[in-house]
Amino acid sequence: MSSDIPQRGVARSAQLAKLPLGVAGRATVGLGKRLAGRNSQDVQADLAARTAEQLFAVLGQLKGGAMKFGQALSVFEAALPEESAAPYREALTRLQDAAPPMPASTMHRVLDEQFGRSWRTRFASFDDNPAAAASIGQVHRAVWADGRDVAVKIQYPGAGPALMADFNQLSRFARLFGRISPGLDVKPLLAELRARVSEELDYTLEATSQRQFAEAYEGDPEIAVPRVVGSAPKVIVSEWLDGTPLSSIIASGSQTERDDAGRLLALLHFSAPQRAHLLHADPHPGNFRMLADGRLGVLDFGAVAQLPNGTPEPLGRITRLVLNDDVDAVMAAMQAENFIRPGIQIDATKVMDYLRPILEPLAKDTFSFTRDWMREQAARIGDPRNEAARVGRQLNLPPEYLLLHRVTLGSIAVLCQLGATAPYRQIAEQWQPGFKA
């Protein structure tokens, strides 16, 4: 293990620890501005922008859990108020596929440990400069001995302890995100990321998931999954995929490119549980490429949900019943699946009013996903002053649905970043069990 790993971990923790102090200082300045005559709304907007600027400047310099959290949060950028999102949208985008690289000597040491000191004989050529670097590993471009272009994903030494240390720090000031957007509760997201750390650190498990995805989509005309060429506990070698990063399409793509990407993302989300019995659970844009032949290239299978029976049928059935305004059947199904806990008295009309807007993308043949729509939904159900938020607090999300719920929201958030118009209902009817009667 590289001797500089502990020092870098200390430095990272120090940077994270400074964030609450910086926010406290800005809050004091904000009080002074209010006393000087500026209205509280303007001061709050200024405080949110400055908090966001510092927060994502720090996250953008880090690896480990801090960067993984930033990547996960970047998916939900579309839900944040525009005055807060605009100052750091670029920083969030950078978090999706870039981080400071580890030294070549450290990377070579990992390959020595995983593949033996003769690891170079496996490759016709190997580029020591990383092609991409992310939260727990970096990717190098190489040519396999048989001539195939490959991506070599190498895990950072000490990634596990660094991840846990960062999550501990981040959880201490999760309340800061309330200053950026009231109703934005990051504690459940941090808890889920922490719970899945051990899975993402196991590259053997990731390679198995990638092979399962690749087999399910072998020869598919619309979804491309690179095949695994070789693997070890800390290294994965897979076929290289050239393409346009989804972040580039979000930033400057044509409407046709946006619509195509959105349709394919929806297709992957709905079809994978039925075809691969897995759900790709990390939908941030850095994990996707649009290939020259029009296919969606899918990368990074460290975060997946095992769904051996596909997507649970009750989700599709309840969605259909809501759209059909079958109030009694909706309430009965939600009680049976424990979305409404025993003994909870809740107004059925208010439940329907809570659910209908969320399901709007499935109510008609096509839907145009926008940041405005996402922000409206986030404010409606996230602001504790709203009736929808009060209804939401009475409902229950069973543990077996938690990850699926989060990934669905994340996938929709990316569609809103794209501004895509997609045949969402048609795709759901084809692949979602229980949705089509």
At 55, is the pLDDT very low, low, confident or very high (cuts 50, 70, 90)? low
- Determine how β-strand 223-224 pairs with β-strand 296-298: parallel
At 375, is the pLDDT very low, low, confident or very high (cuts 50, 70, 90)? confident
Q: What is the pTM of this model?
A: 0.77
Residue 1 scores a pLDDT above 60: no
Two structure tokens written together for 386: 């709203």
Residue 39 scores a pLDDT above 60: no
Two structure tokens written together for 233: 């506990």
Among residues 327, 329, 314, 303, the alpha carbon closest in space to that of 410 is found at 303
Instruction: Return the pLDDT at 175.
Output: 57
Residue 281 scores a pLDDT above 80: yes
Two structure tokens written together for 231: 């693997």
Query: Average of pLDDT values for 257-272?
Result: 98
Instruction: Return the pLDDT at 401.
Output: 87
At 89, is the pLDDT very low, low, confident or very high (cuts 50, 70, 90)? low
Give the alpha-carbon dihedral of 156, 140, 235, 159, to 10 degrees: 10
Interatomic CA distance for residues 90 and 134, integer angstroms = 16
Q: Where are the domains of the chain?
A: 242-437
Interval 111-143: pLDDT, tens: 999 999 999 999 999 999 999 876 678 899 999
90-94, 145-149, 202-206, 283-287: range with lowest mean pLDDT: 90-94
Two structure tokens written together for 363: 């109510």
| C-alpha to C-alpha distances, 158 to 97, 131, 134, 245, 419, nearest whole angstrom | 20, 21, 14, 29, 39
Q: Rounded mean pLDDT of the chain?
A: 80
Interval 168-212: pLDDT, tens: 666 655 555 555 444 445 666 666 666 666 677 889 999 999 999
